[in-house]
Amino acid sequence: MLQMDPMRPLDPALPITPQLTQRLRDRIIRNHLKPGDRISETEIAKVYDVSRQPVREAFIKLADQGLLLIRPQRRTVVSRIAYQDVLDARFLREAIEADIVRLLAKTRDDALIGTLRAQIELQKRVHADDLETFTQLDEQFHRMLADAVGKAGTWSFVEGVKAQMDRVRFLSLFDYPMALLIEQHTQIVDAVEARDLDRAEENARQHLRLMLDYLPGVIAANPSFFDLPEGGLAPSVNTPTLGGEYT
């Protein structure tokens, strides 16, 4: 039987389906459940001590996010990482966050700047081996940017479409340069504080393009995890730079 963190029971006072969906989503994104792993409604229901109905609903939601492949009357398996979905999610996220930091730079809030710098200090204190904590802080940093300009709903939308991108990020955690990510966060805040709209946008774009440098290596190290297009890897198309050219 798959070990689904049985020491963390679901909260019966809260809706069960969203809890199950998030719990299973986290385990797939963190590759605790790997592409090709089989899971069943009966098994999950037993682990979490719930009926099969909320499990079925959670499976459907995860299938909609491209994380599960449901084969009626046969089996449900964890899907492979769709390469094109990774590129699409990163493209979308860059476009959205570039506009978010422009808005922040235009309406600079000194209290927010202080809060962001304090959050970056927390990132700097994370031990090099504690990549899970750093990832949580990184996610929090980007969510704070969206919340600050009243775009919490937009960030929720981004979270819903970037599941495949997050799976790649967890596969590449040990290769990601934590110090560089922190420096890029600092550069974004510096530009926002200086009210330099163009620099803030460009810093955000460069930050979100970093994963493209690591993607081919992650695929080469984990080829069975990915659903690749016929003919090999397609080139990534980014949003345009401020000069108007695609890079």
Tens of each residue's pLDDT in the chain, 247 residues: 455 554 478 888 999 999 999 999 999 998 899 999 999 999 999 999 999 999 999 999 999 989 999 987 778 999 999 999 999 999 999 999 999 999 999 998 999 999 999 999 999 999 888 888 998 999 999 999 999 999 988 888 888 788 888 899 888 776 778 899 999 999 999 999 999 999 999 999 999 999 888 899 999 999 999 999 876 665 555 555 454 444 4
Find where tokens 């499990």 sit. 55
Cβ contacts of residue 193 below 8 Å, gap of 6+?
108, 113
**3-class SS of residue 44:** helix
Whether domain 16-79 has CATH 3.40.720.10: the reply is no
The 3-state DSSP class for residue 66 equals coil
List where CATH 1.20.120.530 sits in the chain: 83-227
Quick one: pLDDT at residue 1? 42
Predicted pLDDT at 169: 86
CB 144 within 8 A of CB 116: yes
User: Rounded to whole angstroms, how far apart are CA atoms 81 and 76?
Assistant: 15
Range 199-207 contact pairs with CB under 8 angstroms and sequence separation of 24 or more: 200/101, 200/102, 200/104, 200/105, 201/98, 201/99, 201/101, 201/102, 201/105, 201/242, 202/241, 202/242, 203/101, 204/94, 204/97, 204/98, 204/100, 204/101, 205/94, 205/98, 205/238, 205/239, 205/241, 207/181
Are the beta carbons of 61 and 21 closer than 8 angstroms?
A: yes
pLDDT score of 143 = 94
Rounded to an integer, what is the distance from CA 144 to the centroid of its chain? 15
Q: Phi and psi at residue 78, in whole multiples of 5°?
A: -70, 130
- Residue 2's pLDDT is 52
**CA-CA distances (angstroms) from residue 41 to 44, 58, 100, 130, 228?**
5, 10, 40, 33, 28
Q: Tell me, what's the pLDDT at 234?
A: 57
Predicted local confidence at residue 180, as pLDDT: 92
pLDDT of residue 236: 58
- Given the candidates 3.90.1150.10, 1.20.120.530, 3.40.50.300, 1.10.3720.10, the CATH classification of the domain at 83-227 is 1.20.120.530
| Sequence letter at residue 26 | D
User: What is the number of other CB atoms lying within 10 angstroms of the CB of residue 243?
Assistant: 7
Non-local (6+) Cβ contacts of 12 within 8 A are: none
Q: Both tokens of residue 150?
A: 């009243």
Under a CB-based contact definition with an 8 Å cutoff, are residues 191 and 105 in contact? yes
Residue range(s) of every CATH 1.10.10.10 domain in the chain: 16-79
Question: What pLDDT was estimated at residue 189?
Answer: 98
Residues 6+ apart with CB under 8 A from 116: 141, 144, 145, 189, 192
pTM of the model: 0.83
Q: Would you call 168 helix, strand, or coil by DSSP?
A: helix
